Amino acid sequence: IALVALLGVFDFLRPNWGQVVKNGIPQVDALGNPKMDVLSMVSVIQMFMLLAGSLIIIFTKTDAKKIGSNEIFKSGMIALVAVFGISWMADTMFAVHTPMMKAALGDIVKEHPWTYAVMLLLISKFVNSQAAAISAFVPLALGIGVEPGVIVAFAAACYGYYILPTYPSDLATIQFDRSGTTHIGKFVINHSFILPGLIGVITSCIAGYFIAMAAGYL
């Protein structure tokens, strides 16, 4: 973990393929230094994860044939496909309906900036991903005139997939808890994750708003 963090902070430690050239023009960064085409951190993290998995199999003498039949592995693969599918579907939906959403939400968000947080929270639940919610809704919010300070202040609102207990980690937690204290209620929404999630998001948004005000972003 420390090595991955180190590679993330100091990109010159990662392999590079020379200076970035775009349309025949060598690219430079904000300081005027050559912009190098370095190995992305996404690839670095994937490499280290694969390496860790390989070392675990080698040194623990795990039977690789049994991994595919393991319930946790199956659940993880299903969750992986589900999250990617939902994210792509959401991106497609937002791309098609962006003009309509700008017209419908623009005046409301401009007049009541706090509604941006509510909408982001709901969208993050629909797409089941913080990253997908941010990438889909932030450009839309900027396009309809939401202040960047508001977007930064309410960034914590992108965590909303606890609202309905459909996320794989939530379901896994319920299955793993033998005491029965982690459960889904009669009305589905009254489950063990809703109060901690709401408290965390609301508190973070309020704190973010005041911090943004103190920093002069609002």
Q: Over the stretch 31-79, which tens digit does the pLDDT of each residue have? A: 777 787 888 888 899 899 999 988 988 888 888 888 878 777 776 776 6
* Token representation of residue 95: 């791309």
Geometric angle at alpha carbon 36, from 31 and 41, rounded to 5°: 110
At residue 102 the predicted structure's pLDDT band, cuts being 50, 70 and 90, is low
Domain assignment present for residue 68? The answer is: no
Q: Is 164 found in the same domain as 109?
A: yes
Percentage of the chain modeled with pLDDT above 70: 86
pLDDT digits (tens, 9 = 90+) for 111-122: 788 888 888 888
Domain assignment present for residue 72? The answer is: no
Round to whole Å and give the CA distance between 183 and 174: 6
Domain assignment present for residue 70? The answer is: no
Alpha carbon distances (Å) from 24 to 21, 38, 62, 194:
6, 18, 51, 53
Least Cα distance to 39 among 17, 10, 9 occurs for 17
Q: Is 160 found in the same domain as 108?
A: yes
Round to whole Å and give the CA distance between 195 and 208: 20
Q: Is 106 found in the same domain as 200?
A: yes
Under a CB-based contact definition with an 8 Å cutoff, are residues 36 and 19 in contact? yes
Q: Is 209 found in the same domain as 119?
A: yes
What are the contacts of 113-116 at 24+ separation with CB within 8 A?
113/146, 113/147, 113/150, 114/154, 116/141, 116/146, 116/150, 116/151, 116/154, 116/157
Domain assignment present for residue 71? The answer is: no
At residue 91 the predicted structure's pLDDT band, cuts being 50, 70 and 90, is low
Q: At residue 162, what is the residue type?
A: Y
Q: Is 179 found in the same domain as 111?
A: yes
Domain assignment present for residue 75? The answer is: no
Round to whole Å and give the CA distance between 31 and 35: 10
pLDDT at 79: 65
Least confident range from 101-105, 129-133, 147-151: namely 101-105
Residue 98: partners with Cβ closer than 8 Å, 6 or more residues away:
140, 143
3-state class (DSSP) for residue 34:
strand
* Token representation of residue 65: 């044939």
Q: Is 126 found in the same domain as 164?
A: yes
Q: Is the pLDDT of residue 15 over 70?
A: yes
Listed residues 47, 62, 77: the one ending a domain: 62
Round to whole Å and give the CA distance between 137 and 18: 35
Q: Is 29 found in the same domain as 135?
A: no
The listed range with the strongest mean pLDDT (12-16, 58-62, 192-196, 198-202) is 198-202
Domain assignment present for residue 107? The answer is: yes
Q: Which domain holds residue 133?
A: 85-215
Domain count, the chain: 2
